[in-house]
Amino acid sequence: MKLGEFVLHEPAARSWLTETVAPTAAPGETASPPRLDVNQRTALGLTAAWRPAPTPDTQRTAATMLALAQTSIVGAITAPDRARIELADPTGDTPYRPRFLMHLTGGSPATSIRLATPSEDPPVLGTAAGVDAALGLLADAVRAGNKQLRRLETFTAPYLTAAIHQLERTVVEGQGETTDCGCGWPITVHDDEWMHVYNPRLTGSDDHDPRP
């Protein structure tokens, strides 16, 4: 099953983070209206000296920043459908190594999973501070999320392939060709109409029409 990928849009992310620290304008120009109001910027707590650390205030800033970056109003990170990256609780690692959770949901709590990034994954933060440090954290989050997506694809591929092969051997009245949907789940032709083989609500494929 192809699960897509997280993408960091670096120019948009840098512009947003810079604006979050302090909206400014060149001489003779008017500053663009910030996408976050003053209360939201204060709550975010990003400053020119900010660096990731396992302290409550810093963790809160990082978690809020990561959540906002994945919203449509900011657009700094685009995510696969029904997926998002979250900041995990800090560990006792020294130096501090941010860890992330890759959250996938199938449309209900019963089909939601969270996968934690391995603790051995090193950060790529260096000595940056402020916007550069924040951008580095977002980049680390995207890398960690994509690594988890690829691991999950590798894990599920044999089971999905076996299911498809079983379906190909079990043909019912009115059923035609069986193949993969664009979302990765098996689909079949039944009475001249493509249909998901498994319950679309349970598999999280109820948000689109089945198609090869």
d(CA 118, CA 113): 16
Confirm if 55 and 47 have CB atoms less than 8 A apart: no
The pLDDT value recorded for residue 9 is 94
Q: 62 CB contacts (<8 Å, ≥6 apart)? A: 52, 87, 98, 134, 137
Which structure tokens are listed for 129?
A: 């501070």
Domain that holds residue 126: 7-154
Residues 190, 91: one domain?
no
Residues 178, 139: one domain?
no
> Is residue 140 in a domain?
yes
d(CA 210, CA 102): 26
Which ranges of the chain have pLDDT less than 70?
Answer: 1, 22-43, 91-94, 106-111, 118-126, 156-176, 202
> Is residue 193 in a domain?
yes
Neighbours of 83 (CB within 10 A): 18
Residues 188, 84: one domain?
no
d(CA 105, CA 81): 9
CA-CA-CA-CA torsion for 33, 50, 63, 150, nearest 10 degrees? Answer: 100
Structural domain count of the chain: 2
Write down the residue that tokens 């029904």 correspond to. 82
Residues 123, 199: one domain?
no
Residues 199, 120: one domain?
no
> Is residue 212 in a domain?
no
d(CA 83, CA 173): 36
